[in-house]
Amino acid sequence: MILVLAGGVGAARFLEGLVQVVPPASITAVVNTGDDMQLHGLHIAPDLDIVTCTLADLIDQGQGWGIRGDTDACLSWLIKLGGPGWFKLGDRDLALHIRRTDLLRSGHTLSQVAEEFRRVLGVAVRILPMSDDPVPTHILTDQGEMHFEEYLVQHRAAPQVHGVRFVGVEAATPAPGVLEAIATAEAILIAPSNPVVSVGPILALPGVREALLASPAPVVTVSPIVGGAAIKGPAVPLMRALDLEISAFGVAQAYAGLLDGMVIDQVDADLSSLIAALGIRVAITDTIMRGPEEKANLARVSLELARGCRIL
């Protein structure tokens, strides 16, 4: 079994590559739920939906989130009725949130809902939320503390960031199966996701870091920072707020002590000796996932690196 620690868009694209090179049913994705929030009284789970809908080939590939061809009739009326309009929710998309909220309110866990959605949408990859407990990621900014999605979407990542909080993480537990998956994986791949707000919440859960250190599986990541810039999303200001260098080396620092290997982009080849000096094996390839071939190549290189780490 190949375990992937996953955020949203970057992780979903990485998984699209992985399912091309290993049997999808042999993959388990543990997905960040720090972005989850209540909006319109509905439980929105951005990363779970991005991962599930991408693997179900339903995603709007252009933007990386949302359902392809979705419409916004409901949201336009919600706004008319006084509801918040800053977070885009398509009509089909809303069905996921309505159904999830209904199932959660009637006693199901988020894990059970994720499993049900995966099954109904025909996704063979096993999808686990990182936790069934709410652990909202808050961003501490010069405009106050706010939910990550408020920071990213409502405020367009404009406020100055000076810290990050995973609210309630101390009391949260990893979802059923997460620690077992870490213990029994052949390889653990940290997707090219934001190390601070996508993978950070997973690593902050009690027991996860210890399980990763105890697991015999090699831990390999793909840098989401290429040529000193984030491929997508607000990694730069968030890494800067945590005093991380905005580079593949900074990503390696973010995962200090956990990594056996790291895949970096060709443009960052000059960083390989610096990263290697941290005791991390480095593989260099084209990490920009433009199409199916680049995705498959990145998955292949990551798995080869993981296999190489195990042999050493």
**Interface with a copy of itself by CB under 8 A: which residues?**
40-42, 70-71, 73-78, 80-83, 90-92, 94-96, 98-99, 101-102, 105-106, 116-117, 120
What is the C-alpha R_g of the chain?
Answer: 18
Closest CB to a copy of itself among 80 and 290?
80
User: For 106-168, where are the alpha helices, taking DSSP H only?
Assistant: 110-120, 148-149
Closest CB to a copy of itself among 41 and 168?
41
Closest CB to a copy of itself among 120 and 229?
120
Question: Measured from the CB of residue 120, what is the shortest distance to a copy of itself in angstroms?
Answer: 6
Distance from chain centroid for Cα 259? 17
Closest CB to a copy of itself among 25 and 95?
95
Identify whether the C-beta of residue 265 lies closer than 8 Å to the C-beta of residue 226: yes
Identify whether the C-beta of residue 47 lies closer than 8 Å to the C-beta of residue 32: yes
Question: Measured from the CB of residue 13, what is the shortest distance to a copy of itself in angstroms?
Answer: 23
Identify whether the C-beta of residue 252 lies closer than 8 Å to the C-beta of residue 224: no
Question: Measured from the CB of residue 5, what is the shortest distance to a copy of itself in angstroms?
Answer: 26
- Collapsing DSSP to helix, strand or coil, 130 comes out as coil
Assign residue 255 a region: left if phi > 0, alpha if psi is -120 to 50, beta otherwise? alpha
Give the CB-side neighbour count of residue 44, counting CA atoms within 13 A: 20
Question: Measured from the CB of residue 47, what is the shortest distance to a copy of itself in angstroms?
Answer: 18
Question: Measured from the CB of residue 264, what is the shortest distance to a copy of itself in angstroms?
Answer: 39
CA distances from 228 to 50, 132, 237, 265, 290 (A): 25, 35, 12, 11, 19
The one-letter amino acid code at 111 reads S
Question: Measured from the CB of residue 101, what is the shortest distance to a copy of itself in angstroms?
Answer: 6
Closest CB to a copy of itself among 97 and 281?
97
